[in-house]
Structure 1
Amino acid sequence: MHGTYRTFVIIGGGLAGAKAAETLREEGFDGRVILIGDEHEQPYERPPLSKDYLTGRADRGSVFVHEPSWYARNRIELHLGQPAVAVDRARREVRLGDGTRLPYDALLLATGAEPRRLGIPGTDLAGVHHLRRLAHSDHLRGVLTSRAGAGEPLVVAGAGWIGLEVAAAARSLGTDVVVVEPGPAPLHAVLGPELGAVLAALHRERGVTFHFGTRPAAVTGRDGMVAGVRTEDGRELPARAVLAAIGAGPRTALAEHAGLALAESGGIAVDASLRSSDPRIFAAGDVAAVGVGGGGPRLRVEHWANALNSGPAAARSMLGQDIAYDRVPYFFSDQYDAGLEYSGWAPPGSYDRVVFRGDVAARTFLAFWLREGRVLAGLSMNVGGATDAIQGLIRDGRPVDPDALADADAPLASLTAAPSPRPCPCPRT
């Protein structure tokens, strides 16, 4: 046991914060652990909010990281529904909205991200939604189920992961969906045109209508309620509700006001140990901008796996362990009957070739993004068990024979000679 007279404070009631608290106890820290969340809910995971929880296939209890009694059993002090409003680095205190001051010996900022607003006329109308919190998902599900089949569509602004997942959920509930996206295809900035076309076809087969190359210019209303969306190219789209799914920005206000260094790409600048410019303050999850090896830029990863892994890594670093956080970016998505897993990062312009393995028409395949024969990223659609091998190819960083990569009879593990994981050579989100 160690740390009896120390206090560790965690700000953030999501997966990263909850897993950090869990790790502190697992590693033998017996001091005071305080977890602060600005929602009244205990820490929960966010992926179900746009998937099974939104459709009603998963119950409320399934989204929470721990059962309610776990926090008391492990002596985790919860301050819920009470936002942290300031960090006093000189006094080593966190001030809450009600004036409470909490001392800390080490502080973890796991404040996450906040949905970006549309910033157009009409967004104050009832029926304009964002999706980041449990209450958002509850409200949106009520809208989708109360008038399913009424012929008034949900208009989704943005064809990113959240937009597509909500589109799939809404269609499964019988709601018509129209997606407005400025890019030429879904997820163009992440997957490029090759996979964007596959996803567009998947959704069109289920009845989703896309309008590419344009944005919402205004939300129109009637009696204070959403009635439609006017796009920049002059379309008038009827709507019963609008979802803003145009990305999220890191919640860095606390860090900024405390004078911590921020990364040019957004987020709190941290080193490989997830330590900020203040040696007693750490950051994890969506808000942390981790340095890429070799002096590269600090970039953020806004996905579940990063929260799952960076929270525990930050906790161990707070305890003084030698930590070098450098994982291959990974995320997953479920849309209709398609399960997708993506590793690495290869936006358009970073790769020169996409290689497919399997049956693209049947949507049972792997895809690899290559630059000069080196695998930058890989995606599986309805193919299980491939992620470790894909990440091995990315970490290996040596050219791979594209023909062997496309050959379903050639084991992926045989295409890399790396005896052990190496630092990820790819840029990160």
Structure 2
Amino acid sequence: MVDAHRTFVIIGGGLAGAKAAETLRAEGFSGRVILIGDERDHPYERPPLSKGYLLGKDERESVFVHETAWYAGADIELHLGQVVTSIDRAGRSVQLGDNTVVHYDKLLLATGAEPRRLDIPGTELAGVHHLRRLAHSERLRGVLSALGRDNGHLVIAGAGWIGLEIAAAAREYGAEVTVVAPSATPLHHVVGPEVGQIFTDLHAEHGVRFHFGARLTEITGQDGLVLAVRTDDGEEHPAHDVLAAIGAAPRTSLAEAAGLDMADRSQGGGVVVDASLRTSDPDIYAAGDIASVHHPLFGGRLRVEHWANALNSGPAAAKAMLGQDVTYDRVPYFFSDQYDLGLEYSGWAPPGSYDQVVIRGDAGKREFIAFWLKDHRVLAGMNVNVWDVTEDIQKLIKAARPVDADALGDPSVPLDSLF
């Protein structure tokens, strides 16, 4: 039986919020657990939206974190399709869009991120898309199928993970694809130019056209439909549909309005939290995409938007809310699938943070591990079509000790001998 004397409220109906609710019950919390989400769907995982579900390989039910009946069985009170309009820190309550007031003893913010919008003429046309929610993926499935059937053309603004995964999906459907990006290679802000070229070659081999060093300036159309896009270097590309994949912004408006401490934009923005994911208010915690955590390995604050962070930070925050001793210092991790290439990336090494890239294996065959080093210390590693090495890569990162670059790049030297 639920003890109504204590109430923990979770704002955010994504993976982080759902796993936090699950953890509260698993750890024996007997009070009320209220989960508030602004989507009408039950909490779901986002990677399938640009991978298996988008390609029609995964069933819709497979994306959900729990079966629908689980929430009632675990005494989780769901408020779906509800927007939280404000947080009253003094009164320890939140107000919903229908003016309902919900009181809390502890509050978890897991509001996620939202896609950045193109601020150019023509975005009101039918055929301009984003991908963040299940409904977006469902719409895009139909779009890609139609483009493939009719030899249609998709222009993607942005060459990050989402842009590349959708480019791969679109080509599998048979659509024509052009990717426009301001950088010189894909994934520039994550893997740098050295490894980015590998992704250029991969997609070019599958028929994707790249237009680097440019940004969209206008989407042109007729009768409300997309006809073409123009770029800031004077080029024009035919298009039937346009996808904006220019990144995501943390949904921090609630936290900001409540006066919580925020991280500087140079540190990725987000809500400042301590090692236990507690904000500047001792009764409010943050997890997932919005949480800015100081990471001892990388010497600064990190805000990580990927699946593994939501999966792990939600439970960590839940345990901290229960008074357990929590230190959230997991090595960032994410994965991607594009055509027949699968990869896992661990660590954090944006351009400018490393001084050397070491390749272990055969990059030409796309079976390799890339390591990013600074002063001979491994900052990040990415295994491409090489499996069961993530644990070793993360141990190298955590060791934070100099390694011999020649040995690191030699496949005959076991990784576990380099810790």
TM-score surpassing 0.5? yes
Q: Would the aligned equivalents of 1:285 and 1:302 in 2 still touch at CA under 8 Å?
A: yes
Q: Would the aligned equivalents of 2:2 and 2:75 in 1 still touch at CA under 8 Å?
A: no
Q: Would the aligned equivalents of 1:156 and 1:245 in 2 still touch at CA under 8 Å?
A: yes
**CA shift for structure 1 position 294:** 9.0
Q: Which residue of 2 aligns with 1:426?
A: none
**CA shift for structure 1 position 288:** 0.6
Q: Which residue of 1 aligns with 2:291?
A: 288
- TM-score normalized by the length of structure 1: 0.95
Q: Which residue of 1 aligns with 2:28?
A: 28
**CA shift for structure 1 position 276:** 0.4
Q: Among residues 331, 336, 339, which one is paired with 2:339 in the alignment? A: 336
Q: State how far apart, in whole Å, the 1-side matches of 2:298 and 2:260 are.
A: 19
Deviations 1:37-92 (A, max 9, x none): 00000000001101111111111000000000000000000000011111111111
Q: State how far apart, in whole Å, the 2-side matches of 1:188 and 1:133 are.
A: 25
Q: Which residue of 2 aligns with 1:298?
A: 301
| 3 and 378 in structure 1: CA distance in 2 versus 1, 3 angstrom threshold | farther
- TM-score normalized by the length of structure 2: 0.97
**CA shift for structure 1 position 292:** 2.7
Q: Which residue of 2 aligns with 1:153?
A: 153
Q: Which residue of 1 aligns with 2:410?
A: 407
**CA shift for structure 1 position 402:** 1.1
Q: Which residue of 2 aligns with 1:203?
A: 203
Q: Would the aligned equivalents of 1:149 and 1:176 in 2 still touch at CA under 8 Å?
A: no
Q: State how far apart, in whole Å, the 2-side matches of 1:407 and 1:187 are.
A: 26
Q: Which residue of 1 aligns with 2:258?
A: 258
Q: Which residue of 2 aligns with 1:424?
A: none
**CA shift for structure 1 position 169:** 0.6
Q: State how far apart, in whole Å, the 1-side matches of 2:394 and 2:109 are.
A: 28
Q: Which residue of 1 aligns with 2:316?
A: 313
Q: State how far apart, in whole Å, the 2-side matches of 1:349 and 1:248 are.
A: 22
Q: State how far apart, in whole Å, the 2-side matches of 1:311 and 1:212 are.
A: 37
Q: Which residue of 2 aligns with 1:8?
A: 8
**CA shift for structure 1 position 146:** 2.0
Q: Would the aligned equivalents of 1:2 and 1:28 in 2 still touch at CA under 8 Å?
A: no
Q: State how far apart, in whole Å, the 2-side matches of 1:405 and 1:320 are.
A: 42
Q: Which residue of 1 aligns with 2:60?
A: 60
Following TM superposition, the consecutive aligned residue runs of length 4 or more in structure 1 with deviations greater than 3 angstroms are 1-4, 293-297
One-letter amino acid of the counterpart of residue 349, structure 2:
A
**CA shift for structure 1 position 3:** 6.5
Let me know the Cα RMSD of the aligned residues.
1.4
Structure 1: 5+ residue stretches without partners: 417-429
Q: Which residue of 2 aligns with 1:423?
A: none
Alignment partner of 1:123 is 2:152: no
One-letter amino acid of the counterpart of residue 255, structure 1:
A
Q: State how far apart, in whole Å, the 1-side matches of 2:30 and 2:375 are.
A: 51
| 295 and 126 in structure 1: CA distance in 2 versus 1, 3 angstrom threshold | closer
**CA shift for structure 1 position 379:** 0.4
Q: State how far apart, in whole Å, the 2-side matches of 1:227 and 1:103 are.
A: 51
Does the residue aligned with 1:13 lie in a helix, a strand or coil? coil
One-letter amino acid of the counterpart of residue 212, structure 2:
F
Does the residue aligned with 1:190 lie in a helix, a strand or coil? helix
Q: Which residue of 2 aligns with 1:112?
A: 112
Q: Which residue of 2 aligns with 1:325?
A: 328
Does the residue aligned with 2:171 lie in a helix, a strand or coil? helix
After superposing the two structures, state which structure 1 stretch, 54-63 or 348-357, moved more. 348-357
**CA shift for structure 1 position 297:** 3.5
Q: State how far apart, in whole Å, the 2-side matches of 1:104 and 1:363 are.
A: 51
Q: Which residue of 2 aligns with 1:363?
A: 366
One-letter amino acid of the counterpart of residue 160, structure 1:
G
**CA shift for structure 1 position 152:** 2.6
Does the residue aligned with 2:193 lie in a helix, a strand or coil? helix
Deviations 1:228-280 (A, max 9, x none): 10011111111111000000000001111111111113111100000001000
**CA shift for structure 1 position 304:** 0.3
One-letter amino acid of the counterpart of residue 293, structure 1:
P
Structure 2: 5+ residue stretches without partners: none
Q: Which residue of 1 aligns with 2:170?
A: 170
Deviations 1:194-247 (A, max 9, x none): 110001100001000000000001111110111110011111111111000000
Deviations 1:319-375 (A, max 9, x none): 000101001111100001100100111111111111111111111111111112111
One-letter amino acid of the counterpart of residue 233, structure 1:
D
Q: Which residue of 1 aligns with 2:231?
A: 231
Q: State how far apart, in whole Å, the 2-side matches of 1:34 and 1:50 are.
A: 29
Q: Spell out the pairing of 1:383-402 with structure 2 (5 A cutoff).
A: 383-402=386-405
One-letter amino acid of the counterpart of residue 285, structure 1:
G
After superposing the two structures, state which structure 1 stretch, 355-364 or 274-283, moved more. 355-364
Deviations 1:79-137 (A, max 9, x none): 00011111111111111101111110000000000100110111111111010000000
Deviations 1:369-403 (A, max 9, x none): 11121111100000111111001001111111111
Does the residue aligned with 2:99 lie in a helix, a strand or coil? coil
One-letter amino acid of the counterpart of residue 203, structure 1:
H
Does the residue aligned with 2:53 lie in a helix, a strand or coil? helix
Alignment partner of 1:373 is 2:400: no
Does the residue aligned with 1:55 lie in a helix, a strand or coil? coil
Q: State how far apart, in whole Å, the 1-side matches of 2:133 and 2:275 are.
A: 29
Q: State how far apart, in whole Å, the 2-side matches of 1:360 and 1:149 are.
A: 34
One-letter amino acid of the counterpart of residue 292, structure 1:
H
Q: State how far apart, in whole Å, the 2-side matches of 1:67 and 1:150 are.
A: 37
Q: State how far apart, in whole Å, the 1-side matches of 2:217 and 2:284 are.
A: 41
Q: Would the aligned equivalents of 2:147 and 2:153 in 1 still touch at CA under 8 Å?
A: no
Q: Which residue of 2 aligns with 1:242?
A: 242
One-letter amino acid of the counterpart of residue 67, structure 1:
E
Q: Would the aligned equivalents of 1:48 and 1:63 in 2 still touch at CA under 8 Å?
A: yes
Q: Which residue of 2 aligns with 1:427?
A: none
Q: State how far apart, in whole Å, the 2-side matches of 1:295 and 1:145 are.
A: 43
Q: State how far apart, in whole Å, the 2-side matches of 1:216 and 1:356 are.
A: 34
Q: State how far apart, in whole Å, the 2-side matches of 1:297 and 1:372 are.
A: 17
